[in-house]
Structure 1
Amino acid sequence: MTKLSISALARELLHAAAEADGGRAAETVFGGHEKSLRQTVVGMIKGTNLGEHDNQDDVTVYVIQGRVRLRVGDDSWKARTGSLLIVPHARHSIEALEDSAILISVAKRPYPPGQFIA
C-alpha cells in the first residue's frame, strides 16, 4: 500500500506552478496510460488554463484548494475548495480563478460515450 498527502502535494505543486513559465505544475499520483484509472494533482496560478480538449472518458475534478471554472461550450460552472465537478463527455477547459490545486480523476472507457458493447 502507498499513502501520500494530497494536501502537501498540492502545496508543493502550487509553489512549483508559481515558478513555472506556464503557471502550472502536475504530478500523477495513481495510474497512467497503462491503467484504467489515472489521478493527477495539478497546481495552477490564477488566470492559467488547462486548454480546451475533448473528453471521451469518465472524468471528475476535485478542488483541493482555490476556485476554478469549468467551461463546456457556452456553459460554465464555478467550483471552490471541496467541490467535485463531473466533467461532461464534451470539449472543455478549466481556468484557475485564483491560485488553485485540483485532483483530476480519469477512468478510461472501453468504448465511446453512448455506445455499448453487446
Structure 2
Amino acid sequence: MTDAEAHGAPEISPVGLKQIQESLLAAARSSRAQRAAKSVYGSRDTKMGQTVLALLAGAELAEHDSPPEAVLQVLTGRIRLHGKDRSWELTAGQLLPIPPERHSVTALENSVFLLTVIRGA
C-alpha cells in the first residue's frame, strides 16, 4: 500500500498520451464516424475533465455548445476550430482556449487533440 492509499488519497499514475493517440487513431480508422475518444481524467466529483479525441482527415465534430471553460490542445495533425463568424487552424503543439460560443471541429489531416473542460460549480 502506498502512503497516498494509506491516507485515503486516490492512486495517481501517469497517462501515456502517445499510446492513447495510436490506439484512438486505429479505432477511428475502423469507425464509421471516423473518430474515437477516451476520457483520461475526471469524474463526477471533479470540476475538470480531459478527453483525448482522434479525427481522421475530413471528419468533423458537428456544431455544439461550448462548455463553461475549455482548452483544446493539438497533439498530432492539423484541425480547424470553427466559431461564430471566425475560425482557427491549429497544428501539433498548439493550444487554444475555446470561445464561449457554438463551435465545430474539422480535421484537416489525421489528428489527435486533448480537450480540457472546466465544469461549472
TM over 0.5: yes
- Name the stretch that deviates more: 49-58 or 90-99: 49-58
Compare CA radii of gyration and give the structure with the larger one: 2
Cα RMSD, aligned residues only: 1.1
Provide the secondary structure at the position in 2 that maps to 1:89: coil
**1:11 aligned to which of 22, 40, 58:** 22
Q: Residue 85 in 1 paired to residue 96 in 2? A: yes
Partner residue in 1 for 2:74:
63
Distance 1:33 1:5 in 2: 23
Deviations 1:84-113 (A, max 9, x none): 011001100111000000000000123xxx
Q: How many residues align?
A: 110
Seq. identity, %: 35
Q: Deviations over 1:59-92 (max 9, x none)?
A: 0010000000000022000000000011001100
Superposition misfits of 4+ residues, deviation over 3 angstroms: none
Runs (5+) with no aligned partner, structure 1: 111-118
Q: Is the 8 A contact 2:37 2:51 kept in 1?
A: yes
When normalised by structure 1's length, the TM-score is 0.89
Partner secondary structure for residue 46 of structure 1: coil
